[in-house]
C-alpha cells in the first residue's frame, strides 16, 4: 500500500524515540503493532467475504445453468419418447413397404402377362405353321384322290402300299 523503504522506517523510529522517549516507546510500538495487525485481519476478512460472495454467486449461476441443462435434457428425453412412441412413423413405414410389395407384384404380373403374350404369339405362329402343313397334306390327299378316280384300282391290291406311294412325305 504505502511505499515505505528501510531508510524511511529508520528515520521514523529515530523521531519517535526522540519525541516519546525510551520509556514509552516500547508500549507505543506494541499498541501500533496491535492496531496494524487488527487492520490486516480486517482487510483479510473483507477479502475472504468478497471471495465467498463471488463463489456463491458463481455457484448460483452454475446451479441455474445446471437446472436449465436438466430442463433441456428432460425436454429432449420426452421428445425422444414421443418420437419412439409415435406409431404414425411406423404406419408410414409399413405403408411404404406395402406399396413397394404391390408395385413388385404388379411388375411381376405385367412381366408374366408379357411372357404369356409372347408364348401365345409363338403358339399362334406354330398353329399357322401346322395349318399350312395340314393344308399341304390335304391338297396332296385331294390330288391323290383325283388321281385314283382317274385310274382303275384293283381291289386285291394292298391299300397301305398305295397310300405310301401316293402321299409324299415332307
Q: What is the pLDDT of residue 9?
A: 84
Q: What is the mean pLDDT of the chain?
A: 76
Q: Are 167 and 144 in contact (CB under 8 A)?
A: yes
What tens digit of pLDDT does each residue of 15-36 get? Answer: 988 988 888 888 988 999 999 9
> pLDDT tens-digit profile of 61-80?
989 988 888 888 888 888 87
User: Which of these, 151, 33, 156, lies nearest to 166 by C-alpha position?
Assistant: 151
How far apart (Å, rounded) are the C-alpha atoms in residues 34 and 69?
51
pTM: 0.36
Q: Please give the radius of gyration of the chain, using alpha carbons only, rounded to the nearest integer.
A: 63
120 to each of 114, 117, 124, how far by Cα in Å? Answer: 10, 5, 6
* Residue 140 near residue 168, CB atoms below 8 Å: yes
CA distance 36 to 85: 72
Q: How far apart are CA 44 and CA 66, in angstroms?
A: 32
| Structure confidence at residue 35 (pLDDT) | 95
Highest mean pLDDT of the ranges 55-59, 93-97, 117-121:
55-59
**CA dist., res. 20 & res. 30, Å (int):** 14
How far is it, in rounded angstroms, from Cα 111 to Cα 109? 5
Task: Specify whether the CB–CB gap between 25 and 17 falls below 8 A.
Answer: yes
Residues 6+ apart with CB under 8 A from 153: 162
Report the share of the chain in percent with pLDDT over 90.
19
Grid cell digits, residue 158:
394292298
DSSP 8-state class, residue 169: P
Amino acid at each position: 500500500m504505502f511505499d515505505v523503504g528501510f531508510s524511511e522506517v529508520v528515520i521514523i523510529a529515530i523521531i519517535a524515540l526522540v519525541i516519546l522517549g525510551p520509556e514509552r516507546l516500547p508500549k507505543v510500538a506494541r499498541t501500533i503493532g496491535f492496531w496494524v495487525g487488527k487492520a490486516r485481519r480486517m482487510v483479510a476478512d473483507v477479502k475472504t467475504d468478497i471471495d465467498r460472495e463471488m463463489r456463491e454467486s458463481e455457484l448460483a449461476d452454475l446451479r441455474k445453468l445446471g437446472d436449465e441443462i436438466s430442463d433441456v435434457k428432460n425436454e429432449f428425453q420426452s421428445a425422444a419418447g414421443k418420437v419412439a412412441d409415435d406409431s404414425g412413423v411406423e404406419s408410414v413405414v409399413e405403408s411404404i413397404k406395402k406399396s413397394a410389395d404391390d408395385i413388385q407384384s404388379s411388375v411381376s404380373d405385367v412381366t408374366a402377362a408379357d411372357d404369356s403374350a409372347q408364348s401365345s404369339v409363338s403358339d399362334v405362329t406354330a398353329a399357322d405353321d401346322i395349318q399350312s402343313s395340314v393344308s399341304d397334306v390335304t391338297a396332296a390327299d385331294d390330288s391323290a384322290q383325283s388321281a385314283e378316280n382317274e385310274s382303275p384300282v384293283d381291289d386285291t391290291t394292298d391299300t397301305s402300299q398305295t397310300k405310301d406311294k401316293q402321299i409324299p412325305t415332307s
